[in-house]
Amino acid sequence: MSAKEQQPDNRPLNGVRILDIGTALAGPFGGTLLGEFGAEVIKIEHPTGDLLRKAPPLYQGSSLFWAVEGRNKKSITLNLSKPQAQQLLKELVRVSDVVIENYQPGTLEKWNLGYEELQKYNEEIILTRVSGFGQSGPYSSRPGFDSVGMAMGGLTYLTGYPDSPPVRPGPAVCDYFTGTLNALGTMIALYHRDAKKGKGQWLDVSLYETIFRISEYTAAAYDKLGVIRERSGSRHASVAPSGNFRTKDEQWVVLIPAGDAIFGRLMRAMGREDLIGNPRFDSMGKRLENAPEIQAIVASWVGQHTLEEVCSILNQAEVPVSKLYNIQDIFEDPHYQERGNLIEIDDPGVGRVRVQGVTPRLAGTPGGVVRPAPTLGQHNEEIYCGLLGYPPEELTRLKEEGVI
């Protein structure tokens, strides 16, 4: 499905204008999500460009990362360290609904762009503030990136195998989840302002807190039981058997038979009905106590069958199972194809390229990708001249002076 084929005309956030003055991912991803559902997102970049524009991998000198996450935005340039640029931003605030930023706390105040100042230009403005450690507290002034947020939030410590060092959990989970929560918080603030006839407000979203929030039961277990949760490899810490298992043909599958009923279905599918009532395995607690034994039994069975056999047998038995997909598997999978999870966009830097589609899916007012990632400053004239009313010659002067 191409971007053109899925262009919607009734996206639910049409009419909402967002100024994205952040950089990289944790702040801007919130704007990306809201842009997919109709918000007009104006990406405000330093004249040298957002660092994501230079992030590898590159194709013919252009970032594939930027092609994915810069979509549905307009780009203007503005050097916010200059007083005249700060005034231009305030003029944009006057005609906007939301500002999203992810500078170190205190940076906006240093530029005279703090929330109280912005409210002088628009009392209803919503300011979403994303940072590594929050806007308050002893660590608030520290720089923070995705890996630091995952480390302090407790995720990295839990990732890996018990007898091995902690490892990074793959993609930029912290940045993406923080971006998702900043979009959620922004929507809540907009709803309060517009549907509840409330006021504008500012939001405090931090990297470490988003990770800590999804750390399951670790806080309660430490508080009540004194238990420090440790790494459990691919096995779910609360479910045994579970995890990644190697098949006869050297492929990998994941199994997660959570609950006694599914465990029973797994044992019957394996031809091991004798284990269903075995006192070592007849409850979740007992299976966890004897996890090494039951893990080995399942691993042995999986290892005697091919990937196709394992998935066929267990899907028929209604036991949750999946091959461990790489990106080639995703591109070739009929379920991905049927649901249009890969869409094709015509990016000015990399050409036609397939990227992730939009989620969640709204039945009545679906989102969509209606514009590719913009070139740097592509919309300067549209925004400065069209929206703010500056004459073209003023735009030339601002560029010569390094303001835009």
Contacts of residue 149, defined as CB under 8 A and 6 or more positions apart, other chains included, come to 26, 132, 174, 175, 178, 206, 207, 208, 210, 211
What are the CA-CA distances from residue 173 to residues 25, 29, 176, 214 (Å)? 11, 12, 5, 11
Cα–chain-centroid distance for residue 184?
12
Pairing of strands 73-77, 62-63: unpaired
Q: Taking CA 378 as the corner, what is the angle to CA 21 and CA 397, rounded to the nearest 5 degrees?
A: 85
Separation CA 201–CA 119 (nearest Å): 9
Separation CA 267–CA 338 (nearest Å): 32
Smallest CA-to-CA distance from 103 within 83, 127, 76, 119 is with: 127
Catalytic residue chosen out of the listed positions 20, 50, 97, 175 = 175
Q: Is 194 a catalytic residue?
A: no
Pairing of strands 98-101, 126-131: parallel
Contacts of residue 194, defined as CB under 8 A and 6 or more positions apart, other chains included, come to none
Separation CA 86–CA 118 (nearest Å): 10
Tokens standing for 38? 């109709």
Residue 44 · residue 125 · CB < 8 Å: no
E strand segments, 21-163: 40-45, 58-59, 62-63, 73-77, 98-101, 126-131
Which residues on neighbouring strands pair with residue 356, listed in sequence order?
342
Tokens standing for 349? 């830097």
Residue 187 · residue 38 · CB < 8 Å: no
Give the 3-state secondary structure of residue 45: strand
Tokens standing for 33? 């999500």
Cite the active site residues: 175
